[in-house]
Amino acid sequence: MSALNQIEHIVVLMLENRSFDSMLGKLYPKSPGFDGLSGSETNLDAAGVAYAVHNIAGSSDATMSIPAPDPGESWTDINMQLFGMSLPRPGAKPDMSGFVKNYQAQAAHSPGVYDPASVMHYFMPEQVPVISKLARQFAVCDRWFASAPCQTWPNRFFVHTATANGYENNSPVHFPYQMPTIYNRIDDAQLPGGWNIYFHDVPQSITLQKLSLSLNRFRLFDEFLTDAKTGDLPAYSFIEPRYFADVSLPNDQHPPHVATLGEQLIADVYNAVRNGPEWARTLLIITYDEHGGCYDHVPPPPAQPPEPRRPGAAFDFSRYGVRVPAVIVSPYVPEGTVLRPQNDTPFDHTSIIATLRKRFPNLGLPLTKRDAIAPDLSIALTLATPDNPGPEWLDATPYSASPADVAQARIAPPNGMQAALLEFAANMQNGATGAALEASSFIGQQMQALSQGLNGVPDGIAKDVASSITYIKSRLGALFRTV
């Protein structure tokens, strides 16, 4: 019997662009009960040279930033990674053979040194001790796939709306995004405490038009720490990491960002809920939006499309994306659990929506056909009483970015996620600062204006991260503050 009904607070931390194998493939030895890495997995390069999965020891910046530069994550990139070609034949089954070839192909048109071996790299548990400890102490899911073989924005839309509305890439942007969200359902049901989205610099979720009248629900991450400490978390909390280098380095774990900073964020979130008065009534889910071009050996299975194919769309969303890490944390979860669904439908990001709907039935019917069939997480909470308290405190590997580190990161070109957020800022009307953002209708007015046509990013702004985040803050003012 599940203890899901004992849960009053569901907290989700969604990080960026890491596959299951790259983060947790060596959590346990490979066995029928854990689908990790054997160490014999390989990919061939364009010349037929084999590159095996491997680890580079240590916790230096260089090691914890692998792969660098950033691998491809567009829909065509992922096709090549899964099938060894950008346009697979109809009915083809993914064989996970093209990660190295795709990374090599990037080198032909991108700056930087592309070592083909880097996309085959994995971390050992001692290099990522926080997520590894939580995965062993509670539950790790080795059957959780990104919702689609697509970039960041489509997969993040799935966790909020159970669809990407037919859009397979971050760019070109398609503002306004008008999909109904699980947050609107929470508002309609008047769940106690409602919902909050906690963010560090720019909440990608604000691009969803139907959240435009809920600016008071977007809170800085420091407020999450306070709310957890005082027992004031809402029914549903969604946490977004820092995406840009500004006052500090990003902690989203998006390659080549230093993964140790993401470990520190995971520890901060866990420590806050573990030591808060609502720990026994909290379910924490740690996952990643997509794999970011990092190797995984498990082929994604077919998926239920959330809705009919959009006219002109390149993809019908009938396949999941690559496996990503997912760790399920609660004192009702038995130690050492390897969580798998009870049928052939795997977990994906819409399992979070399915779990919310199961715990709070007044949230209503499924948002789409995808979350209608998604397995929920009630099967993880099998202890009758909260007998697995977990460690009282977790310490991440010490790491502090120097001013020189931050300065170097700020001159890097923006990645795909950052560039899409820059496009969002460019398409907000002038004057979107300070008091204007406090008006409940302001963002809604902006989104309506977007439907009249999109503006380009001004020349020179997209040259580096520093120019990008400075421009975003100047356009969006008080809402998109950087901590």
- What tens digit of pLDDT does each residue of 72-122 get? 999 999 999 999 998 888 889 999 999 999 999 998 888 788 999 999 999
Amino acid at 16: E
Residue ranges of domains in the chain, CATH in brackets? 4-44+124-380 (3.40.720.10)
Amino acid at 148: A
Question: Are the CB atoms for 240 and 204 separated by under 8 Å?
Answer: yes
The span from the CA of 467 to the CA of 265, in Å, is 25
Whole-number pLDDT of residue 111: 79
CA angle 206, 322, 333 (to 5 degrees): 80
Question: Are the CB atoms for 300 and 315 separated by under 8 Å?
Answer: no
3-state secondary structure of 44: strand
Question: Are the CB atoms for 143 and 345 separated by under 8 Å?
Answer: no
Whole-number pLDDT of residue 439: 42
- What tens digit of pLDDT does each residue of 413-456 get? 998 889 888 888 887 655 444 443 444 455 555 555 555 555 67
Rounded to two decimals, the pTM is 0.95
3-state secondary structure of 389: coil
Whole-number pLDDT of residue 434: 41
The band of 173, judged by pLDDT with boundaries at 50, 70 and 90, is confident
Whole-number pLDDT of residue 482: 39
More confident residue, 140 or 111: 140
Nearest alpha carbon to residue 483 among 251, 198, 196, 201? 201
Question: Are the CB atoms for 354 and 380 separated by under 8 Å?
Answer: no
End-to-end CA distance of the chain: 42
Look at residue 327 and tell me whether its pLDDT is greater than 90.
yes
Burial of 117 (0-12, 13-18, 19+ CB in 10 A): middle
The span from the CA of 159 to the CA of 182, in Å, is 9
Look at residue 234 and tell me whether its pLDDT is greater than 60.
yes
- What tens digit of pLDDT does each residue of 186-220 get? 999 999 999 999 999 999 999 998 998 888 999 99
The span from the CA of 238 to the CA of 116, in Å, is 35
**Beta bridge pairs of residue 195:** 236
- Helix ranges (DSSP H) in 218-292: 221-230, 259-274
Phi, psi of 96 (to 5 degrees): 60, 35
More confident residue, 167 or 100: 100
Question: Are the CB atoms for 102 and 234 separated by under 8 Å?
Answer: no
Lowest mean pLDDT among 86-95, 178-187, 228-237, 452-461: 452-461
